[in-house]
Amino acid sequence: MIASLTGTVGAGGLDRLTLVVGGVGLLVHTTPATASAARRGQDLTLSTTLVVREDSLTLFGFGSEDERDMFEIVQSVSGVGPRIALAMLSVLGPDELRAALSTGDTRTLTTVPGIGAKSAQRLVLELKDKVAGMPSGAVPSPGSAPAGPSGAEWREQVGEALVGLGWSAKQAGDAVDKVAASAPEDADIAAYLRLALRELRR
């Protein structure tokens, strides 16, 4: 089990980044907000979990142990794999996800792509007691992100991130259009993404 990694941020993507540790570049899948907030050349520590499959070893990284623990806990429910678990944390974050599970708020859970009414009910049934005693904590930002991306740049990146999380291209495009009409021009991509996620949950 690889519990954490500390290294230098190399190449980045919408939902992944390369962390250079001891001269070795490790590909780490993460939430779009964490990936977009990490700056190339920045020293970064991520809490991690390694998902082992018959044909692959996939490393997932998070800004806090709390976020990683939630990622692991939701996968104990049948039908919830790493992709849906990552989408849940991308849309809700660990504190809101924990609150939805502990209070039986299935409506909030179904705002995550891939989670229907039955899946939400099963998640609440199986995890309500497990998450009730977990401590809450805000996920720290990985670092300051470059501000002021061009309009075309952030629209494309946020749209692709939303599609990657499970929304349709039309839903993603509509959310990006709404954000573009009201968001400040100098926000970073992580901020644009959070605003788009908020629009999709209305």
Q: Answer yes or no: is pLDDT of 1 > 90.
A: no
Q: What is the pLDDT of residues 99-128, one digit of tens each?
A: 999 999 999 999 898 899 999 999 999 999
Residue 101 placed within a domain: yes
- Return the pLDDT at 143: 43
Looking at the 3D structure of the chain, how many domains does it have? 3
- DSSP 3-state of 24: strand
Residue of 37 and 108 predicted with greater confidence: 108
pLDDT digits over 128-149, tens only? Answer: 998 877 766 544 444 444 444 5
The pTM assigned to this predicted structure is 0.78
Q: Residue 84's pLDDT is what?
A: 92
Amino acid sitting at position 190: A
Residue ending a domain, among 82, 105, 132, is 132
Take residue 109 and report the two structure tokens written for it.
Answer: 């859970």
Instruction: Specify if 143 maps to a domain.
Output: no
Task: Tokens for 166, please give them.
Answer: 């499970």
Residue 141 lies in a domain: no
pLDDT at 29: 94
Rounded-to-integer distance, Cα 170 and Cα 13, Å = 22
In a domain, 85, yes or no: yes
The answer to whether the beta carbons of residues 47 and 60 sit under 8 Å apart is no
